[in-house]
């Protein structure tokens, strides 16, 4: 399920609080804000859950590693991976993206993956 425009707008406001003059985060914020004006998931079926599973596989780590790096619970990670939860708070998204070595744009929107 794609994020609604309202959910993206809320997420953008949260992200703005975490930017702290970081040019990478600022770029992600602008790109995410712009994306809120159109359809969010570019590839049908390429959900947050599928992106996270792919990134975890690529990094060769465990759900518990992601939870620890994000400062959240393994249960929260399981919700994302199962598709039960399709969004995450901006600060958490930043931590998850950094740990998994992917861009925030790719993690949240499915765009522009960093390797």
CATH 1.10.260.40 given to domain 5-109: yes
Q: Which of 40, 36, 38, 12 is nearest to 26 (CA)?
A: 12
pLDDT digits (tens, 9 = 90+) for 45-82: 678 899 999 999 999 999 999 999 999 999 999 999 99
- In three-state secondary structure terms, 68 is helix
Rounded CA separation 34/50 (Å): 23
Q: Give pLDDT, residue 43.
A: 54
- Tokens 């159109």: give the residue: 38
User: Tokens representing 72?
Assistant: 């959240």
Could you say which DSSP state residue 3 is in? Answer: P
Mean pLDDT on 34-48? 57
Q: Which residues are CB-contacts of 19 (< 8 A; sequence separation ≥ 6)?
A: 25, 26, 29
Q: What is the pTM of this model?
A: 0.65
Q: Do the beta carbons of residue 31 and residue 105 sit within 8 Å?
A: yes
- Tokens 């992200």: give the residue: 15
What are the extents of the domains in the chain? 5-109
């Amino acid at each position: 399920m794609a994020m609604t425009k309202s959910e993206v707008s809320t997420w953008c406001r949260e992200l703005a609080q975490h930017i702290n003059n970081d040019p990478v985060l600022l770029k992600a914020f602008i790109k995410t804000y712009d994306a809120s004006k159109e359809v969010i998931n570019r590839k049908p079926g390429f959900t947050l859950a599928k992106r996270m599973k792919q990134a975890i596989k690529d990094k060769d780590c465990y759900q518990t590693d992601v939870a620890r790096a994000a400062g959240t619970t393994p249960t929260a990670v399981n919700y994302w991976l199962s598709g039960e939860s399709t969004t995450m708070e901006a600060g958490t998204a930043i931590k998850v993206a950094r740990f998994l070595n992917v861009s925030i744009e790719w993690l949240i929107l499915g765009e522009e993956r960093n390797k």
